[in-house]
Structures are given as structure tokens and as C-alpha cells.
Amino acid sequence: MAKLRLHIANSTSKHPVYHITSERWAAAAARHPDLASALDVSMSWDGAGLDEALASADVGIGVPADRSRLAERAPRMRWLHHTSAGVDALLPFDWLPPALVLTNNRGAHGRKAQQYMRMAYTALNVRLPRMIDNQAARRWERLFSPSLEGQTALVIGLGDLGEAAARAARQLGMKVIGVRRHAKPCEHADRVHTFDELDELLPSADYVAIAVPLTAETRHLLDARRIGLMKPTAGLINIARAPVVDYDALRAALREGRLSGAVLDVVEPEPLPPESPLWDTPNLIITPHVSCDDSEDYVAISLDLWFANFARFLRGDALEARVDAKLGY
């Protein structure tokens, strides 16, 4: 049987954590020898030789920066895999040929995100953002805190990241309320509601975890009005995308003591410029978009998921983590 042509497109503008090098591919192929034997693999960096490779590729890993005329440039390609979970940078999907299936890296982030969320919940509970501010100001203020057990985490979005946030809350003995498009039960949440119930849920939350994809519907989902519905002792954690939250309104709430604290792993733009007022916002911890990606095993985890999907592709089964162009994720 003829081998399928796989092309892997890399970009040196991305952090090396995400690079699918020849060595990392070889290690993954050794873990999946039967599946790897069905592939003829090529690799490019920063678009060098990309068009020549696309002309004969059946499947691809890594969405090219130049996506123009993709149906013409990659006439045989049936499946393209994006090496990130978020696809908002690829919108609008007018470049995506109708016959080409696009998948994302959903499932590669949950383990690390769960660990980060445990840290974030605990940091907010012990008032760590305020303590960091006090240390910088050489101010002694004894801040006592209750146990996390029995407190309530409101997790907005129940995909890979949201489930990780829910699992972390459960591990810490918290009650978990989930919010998503459909009120389908989640094993890690005590109950699940839809977005149209969000206003009624926010006042009861001790922690609000943002884990939804960025779409036209979720942009500024947590706006000034909804931030105002949160109780002043509550904390906010965003591991999704910055525009889901109105950060100007969040800054005002933190400065005025209308929220206890926040942990943000995503900002806009990234990198955050030195002049951004977020840097000087009190009761805020900023981490540089590192919450969900394993520094040692991100590519290994990603390629293992890809090979599992490749097995489905060979069988003619529906692929996991397929992106819905209409929904935008």
C-alpha cells in the first residue's frame, strides 16, 4: 500500500516548546511504529519549501502562515491539524477548503492546566496577590484566609481547560458549577448551566474560572456589568483568551476593592508591553501564557494525540477535536 504523505510545518517564531523537531518526531514514531510506517514525512521551517511539500501532502500538521489558495496549493490534503487548542488566530475560516478537515490540539493541555488551576485557586484564597503587593511596598499586613473546602468555583467553559479547572476545584474540596452552551452534565461539576443563566450564577461564586474559546459570542463575555455582579471577596482566573474579559473593567474592580484578586495567564497584546497599566494593577498576578503547556512533554503529548487520530483517519472514522467552522472552535 502506498504511504500517505504527511507534511509538518514549523515556525521559529514560536517558542521551542512547540517545535516538532526531527528528534521529537522520531521519538513519537517509535512509540507508534505501525502507524508511522504508513507515512512518508517531510518537514519545513518558516515556509521554506512549503509549496512544494503541500503539492503532494495528504495530511498536514501545522497551519501555514500563508493560507491563501490552500485548495489549489494542497489539492490532495484531506486533514490539517493545528498545534494549538485555540483557533481564534485562524478566523475567519474563509481560507479553509470545504473538503479539508481541520482539527486542533484539544486534549494536550488538561494535565498541566489542572496543576496551574490548583495553584491559582490556592493563591487567590490565601490573598497572595495582596501579599506580593505588600512585600513590594514593605508593608506588614496579616491576612488570614478560610479553607478552600466548601467554597464555590464557577467554571465558564467545560472543554479540555474547563474540565481541568473543574477537576482542580474538586481536588481542593470545592463545589463546582459549570457553564457552557448546552447544559450537558459533566462528571467533574456538581451541576451545569447554560450561558443565559450566567448573571444568576456569578453572585454565588467565590472563584470564576474563564476557560471558553474566543468567538464573537464570548468576546467580553465578562464585561463591566457582569464583573459588578461578582461579590467583592471573589477571585477571577483567566486561562482562555484575554478578550473574553473586559480588562479595563477588571482593573477598575481590583483597584477599587470590588474584587479580591485575579490571576491572568492571557493578556492582549502578547508580549504585554511595559507601558500596559495591567503591570501596576493591585491584587493581580500575571503569568506569561504558560498555564497549560508542559515544558518537557508538550510535543510528545500532542503527537500521541495526533497518532490516535491518525488511526481513526485510516479507519475512516470521525476525527476527534474537529473544528466547527460555524461555531469558530
DSSP 84: S
How big is the chain, counted in residues? 329
Catalytic residue among 241, 258, 268, 275: 241
**How many whole angstroms separate alpha carbon 73 and alpha carbon 245?**
38
- Cα torsion 153, 158, 159, 164: sign: positive
Supply φ then ψ for residue 134, to 5 degrees.
-65, -40
Cell 518526531, residue? 25
Which amino acid is it at 257?
A: G
289 classed as catalytic: yes
DSSP class of residue 189 equals: S
Instruction: Specify the amino acid at residue 151.
Output: Q
- Residue 73 main-chain phi, psi, to 5 deg: -80, -25
State how far the Cα of 186 lies from the Cα of 91, in Å rounded to an integer.
Answer: 29
Choose the catalytic residue: 5, 7, 82, 289: 289
- Distance, CA of 266 to CA of 157 (rounded, Å): 16
Tell me if the bond preceding 271 is cis, omega within 30° of 0.
Answer: yes
Alpha carbon distances (Å) from 195 to 9, 182, 209, 277: 37, 8, 14, 30
Catalytic residue list contains 193: no
- Which of 72, 270, 312, 320 does the annotation list as catalytic? 270
Amino acid at residue number 243? P
Is 241 part of the annotated catalytic residue set? yes
Handedness of CA 324, 327, 328, 329 (dihedral sign): negative
Q: Residue 51 class from Cβ within 10 Å (0-12 exposed, 13-18 middle, 19+ buried)?
A: middle
Q: Are 11 and 44 in contact (CB under 8 A)?
A: no
Residues ≥6 apart with Cβ < 8 Å to 146:
125
Q: Catalytic positions, please?
A: 241, 270, 289
